[in-house]
Structure 1
Amino acid sequence: MELKVLGQDNAAPQGGCSSGTCGSSEDGMGHLPDAVREKVHNHPCYSEEAHHFYARMHVAVAPACNIQCHYCNRKYDCANESRPGVVSELLSPDQAAKKVLAVASEIPQMTVLGVAGPGDPLANPERTFATFREIYAKAPDIKLCLSTNGLALPDHVDEIEALKVDHVTITINCVDPEVGAKIYPWVFWNNRRIKGAKGAKILIERQQKGLEMLLERGILVKVNSVLIPGVNDEHLKEVSRIVKAKGAFLHNVMPLIAEAEHGTFYGVMGQRGPSKQELSDLQDACAGDMNMMRHCRQCRADAVGLLGEDRGQEFTLDKIEAMDIDYEAAMNKRANVHAGIEAHRDALRAEKELADGHETLLAPLGTPPARIAVTTKGGGVINEHFGHAKEFLVYEASPEGIRFIGPRKVENAYCVGPDVCPDGAEKGTVLDAILDSLSDCSAVVSAKVGIEPWSQLEAAGITPNGAYAMDLIEDAVKGMYGDLVDQGWSAKDLHVQAAS
């Protein structure tokens, strides 16, 4: 068995990380004011730690868009496709509010309501703000968020502030109009469709103005950027530098989704998405002392549940109509659930602080890092069977500590039936896809691993492990890294594999 590493030169965690989990985790927020930490501590999209415990939901109330992106194709009635811009039901504000109350009652750990499409929320301001007003009045404990391309943002900052929308995401893919012309064929501005670099210049100026206005009001801003190889890959370093200098809280560099079957311009024209290593390298290059979001799932515009899961089909309009919702009772239940989660998190932090006081190297200095995949259903522990996992969380362990690399989605769980997966693919095909997704990993840690996938993982050079079931993810990753090193490998014996 070989320990797969990315190279001898990256033995230490990058991006300002030391021991412990990095990225946008609570551990990386010590430099932030208490008021900011309070705003993000239970926000699953803004806090890497919180995403293990708290859920979010999006409501699809905003169908229109005021720009065209080469990577976007908004679609409806597409329950089995998980990517931005896809929804099953378009809702009115009243329907959305009813759905929010139903979800908050049934999923008490839901803390965040976002409007992210399927178009642009601020190209549909009446529908978006009517939804927010209803939720603000009926469920004030739910955080309100919106995600926008930024073209109309400066016109709506006052209302965003008035409705206590504390979290806004702006998708900024460039700060150079010539780069923008390759991404945006047109923008619709002042009742005119403006094409090419001229339109991109207007979009960029409005994005930057809106960003500055939000930050002046004390509203947290996350910047999303889509990594498009050969178009804006190197340029995103400049984007990150500028938005960081202006005060953006978090930068989320996401991979382009460009499969031809999605019907986007990039997909039809054969534009490739980035490799796992290209994405990771660019995230590291943009990090420095700025928080980088690495746990993004590129959610649907009607997603419901923990990040990495989608329970939207449990809350379709016909189903919520049949629900008898006592939200006052639900509010009490939510408060109790949240208190329990926070007590658990406090205990985990205390345990970690105690352990950090006796921190030692995980391996001898010079031992190369290894990537380790884990499976979880939430709660920050190893509690998912390998065969049931539809995503894997990948961490990189080194002598100095561990850091989160990001999620790896797979189309189908391996264990869903005796021979065949729901889409008709054979189990062997599904396992091949999982193995390909984990090709840069040295090990996978699950609550349980079956005999057949165990042997196939070993054959692929990936060590399976079921001994850390119900352990904390961070402890399991550290333990697994120690296990790999203890098996007798040394740096001179390691096979260095470039990640695909």
Structure 2
Amino acid sequence: MGGQLIGLQTLAASGTETMRAALSAGGCSSSQCGSSDKPDSMSAEIWEKIKDHPCYSEEAHHYFARMHVAVAPACNIQCNYCNRKYDCANESRPGVVSEKLTPEQARRKVIAVANEVPQLSVLGIAGPGDACYDWKKTRETFSRIADEIPDIKLCLSTNGLALPDHVDEIATMNIDHVTITINMIDPQVGLEIYPWIFYKNRRWTGPDASKILHERQMLGLEMLTTRGILTKINSVMIPGVNDTHLAEVNRVVKEKGAFLHNIMPLISDPAHGTHYGLTGQRGPTHAELQALQAKLEDGTKLMRHCRQCRADAVGLLGEDRGQEFTLTQVPEVVSYDPSRRADYRALVSEMRGEHEAARRAVGETLADLETAPTCLVAVATKGGGRINQHFGHAKEFLVYEVSPHGVRFLSHRKTEQYCEGGWGDDASLDGVIAALNGVSAVLCGKIGDCPKESLAAAGIVATDEYALEWIEEGIGCWYKQISQSQQTRRSA
């Protein structure tokens, strides 16, 4: 079944008839097709807001793309983990952009992307400064684009300091999603994160700065909740600074109505020129981040699939096509053609039904393996919810936990690409193996004998046996096979 389906990215570049034919070849029966059902714990109104949003729905990030436009360069706080002067086209990090845009340039660019990237469902403004502090540009940009592409979801990211001043306008602008970066609720913790803020025409430092920022963040969150606007809270995990404090942050933002909490690892590299990078402040390990997320599972719903995107990112999460749409490549005159996006959404609606049916079937199958141990499995994927990427081409792996309770997504792990120009690099492979620490198996679209043997020597099974299957389906089949094999050996 899976082997007959063309990947979603290929389908997205095809015409309507090609997309439909490929879907039919996949053997999707009428009993399985149709939009996937909303979760039982969620109202229909909220599901409608998040089902196609790749940041607010883990399932949607397999199918839909986001775009950030860099129209808001001004910022009103300084964070010890931020330096917006640095830029590299290959660097995925918040606050980084290759070119700043005017609202009109952003309009042209968004229309060009919407015409070429039918997966596009969300337009965000995430700086490179603060979307609420640079409000005139944010408002004008959203207004221009909403007039031409009315079905695109609008969202913005903010540090929260200026947020309360604009909540009423946000509520009238069809902005359903707002992300607030909240790293502390105790101003004493904030002293180690924020050197200064700019508020009411003056610069504040010390405890006063942290106290004002905290109060404004809480007020903004409460105002958004009252107006029914979904909020995602971003928190940067900084070992020795706020790592233990984030449990309290999670508790408080949940009480105030946050929909999602995203714990992000500190990116700390001296080459970026940040205070933390230059002073040697380390980021958390995969194990430390996962332990904190596990501790917070009973709190606000956690986002585990964040990629800490650039402020000019384009494409599916985990990829960035921004360099394909620089201003020099965007026509001076553009007009929006909605047909490809409409066709793509119709296709995805059908495929999600099949995907959901596969997930449920896997859950029922694994429930029979009552004594099997919990394992971590890494997957190489290009999107579409399938195991469909060559091991050597992967720049990240999605990590899932599998047990008799089912298959669930845990995190992603970035790596260097092992294979360049048809040749594997041993040093890069060592880095990939290190990044996969604790993982029992890697499932991919294709893998050569050399990396497979190196992974086996490190205690990691690597296989392309489940290529093009749904991710959960492939993981479930591998887990069942391994569990039954182990049981047979024990019985002998």
Q: State TM-score, norm by structure 2.
A: 0.89
Does structure 1 residue 392 correspond to structure 2 residue 397? yes
Assess if the C-alpha contact under 8 Å between 1:283 and 1:292 holds in 2. yes
Q: After TM superposition, what 4+ stretches of structure 1 lie above 6 angstroms from structure 2?
A: 489-492
Partner of 1:5: none
1:490 Cα deviation from its structure 2 partner: 9.8
Assess if the C-alpha contact under 8 Å between 1:170 and 1:222 holds in 2. yes
1:102-152 Cα offsets, whole Å, 9 max, x none, are: 101100110000000111111111111110010111111110000000000
Assess if the C-alpha contact under 8 Å between 1:362 and 1:401 holds in 2. no
Does structure 1 residue 343 correspond to structure 2 residue 350? yes
d(CA) in 2 for partners of 1:341 and 1:143? 17
Partner of 1:302: 312
1:251-290 Cα offsets, whole Å, 9 max, x none, are: 1001010111111111111111111111011111112153
Q: 1:468 to 1:181 in 2, by over 3 A?
A: same
Partner of 1:382: 387
Counterpart among 461, 464, 467 of residue 462 in structure 2: 464
Partner of 1:9: none
d(CA) in 1 for partners of 2:360 and 2:309? 33
The one-letter code of the counterpart of 1:429 is A
The one-letter code of the counterpart of 1:347 is E
d(CA) in 2 for partners of 1:285 and 1:355? 26
Partner of 1:185: 195
Counterpart among 155, 159, 171 of residue 145 in structure 1: 155
Partner of 1:13: none
The count of residues paired between Structure 1 and Structure 2 equals 455
- Unaligned stretches of 5+ residues in structure 2: 1-35
What secondary structure is seen at the aligned counterpart in 1 of 2:241? coil
Does structure 1 residue 334 correspond to structure 2 residue 338? no
Counterpart among 483, 486, 493 of residue 484 in structure 2: 486
Q: 1:289 to 1:197 in 2, by over 3 A?
A: closer
What secondary structure is seen at the aligned counterpart in 2 of 1:486? helix
d(CA) in 1 for partners of 2:355 and 2:484? 27
d(CA) in 1 for partners of 2:82 and 2:410? 25
Once the two structures are overlaid, the 10-residue window that deviates more, 180-189 or 29-38, is 29-38
Assess if the C-alpha contact under 8 Å between 2:231 and 2:258 holds in 1. yes
Counterpart among 421, 425, 445 of residue 417 in structure 1: 421
d(CA) in 2 for partners of 1:29 and 1:84? 31
Counterpart among 202, 214, 228 of residue 204 in structure 1: 214
- Unaligned stretches of 5+ residues in structure 1: 1-25, 421-426, 493-500
Assess if the C-alpha contact under 8 Å between 1:368 and 1:491 holds in 2. no
Equivalent residue runs for 1:446-461 within 5 Å? 446-461=444-459
Q: 1:239 to 1:444 in 2, by over 3 A?
A: same
Ranked by relative contact order (alpha carbons within 8 Å, sequence separation 6 or more), the top structure is 1
Q: 1:391 to 1:211 in 2, by over 3 A?
A: same
Partner of 1:55: 65
1:308-332 Cα offsets, whole Å, 9 max, x none, are: 000001100000127x6441xx212
Partner of 1:275: 285
Counterpart among 60, 81, 98 of residue 108 in structure 2: 98
What secondary structure is seen at the aligned counterpart in 2 of 1:287? coil
Assess if the C-alpha contact under 8 Å between 2:160 and 2:216 holds in 1. yes
d(CA) in 1 for partners of 2:160 and 2:37? 30
The one-letter code of the counterpart of 1:413 is Q
Partner of 1:262: 272
The one-letter code of the counterpart of 2:420 is V
1:353 Cα deviation from its structure 2 partner: 4.3
d(CA) in 1 for partners of 2:190 and 2:117? 40
Q: Percent identity over the alignment?
A: 55
Equivalent residue runs for 1:320-331 within 5 Å? 320-321=330-331, 325-327=334-336, 330-331=337-338
The one-letter code of the counterpart of 2:412 is P
Q: 1:93 to 1:257 in 2, by over 3 A?
A: same
Partner of 1:404: 409
Does structure 1 residue 239 correspond to structure 2 residue 249? yes
Does structure 1 residue 72 correspond to structure 2 residue 85? no
Counterpart among 362, 369, 391 of residue 363 in structure 1: 369
What secondary structure is seen at the aligned counterpart in 2 of 1:221? strand
d(CA) in 1 for partners of 2:248 and 2:380? 35
What secondary structure is seen at the aligned counterpart in 2 of 1:407? strand
Assess if the C-alpha contact under 8 Å between 2:362 and 2:476 holds in 1. no
What secondary structure is seen at the aligned counterpart in 2 of 1:372? strand
The one-letter code of the counterpart of 2:275 is F
1:417-454 Cα offsets, whole Å, 9 max, x none, are: 2557xxxxxx1111111111001101100011012111
1:368 Cα deviation from its structure 2 partner: 2.6
1:300 Cα deviation from its structure 2 partner: 0.6
What secondary structure is seen at the aligned counterpart in 1 of 2:166? helix
d(CA) in 2 for partners of 1:159 and 1:252? 25
Q: 1:81 to 1:489 in 2, by over 3 A?
A: farther
The one-letter code of the counterpart of 1:241 is R
What secondary structure is seen at the aligned counterpart in 2 of 1:122? coil
d(CA) in 2 for partners of 1:290 and 1:472? 28
The one-letter code of the counterpart of 2:89 is A
The one-letter code of the counterpart of 1:437 is A
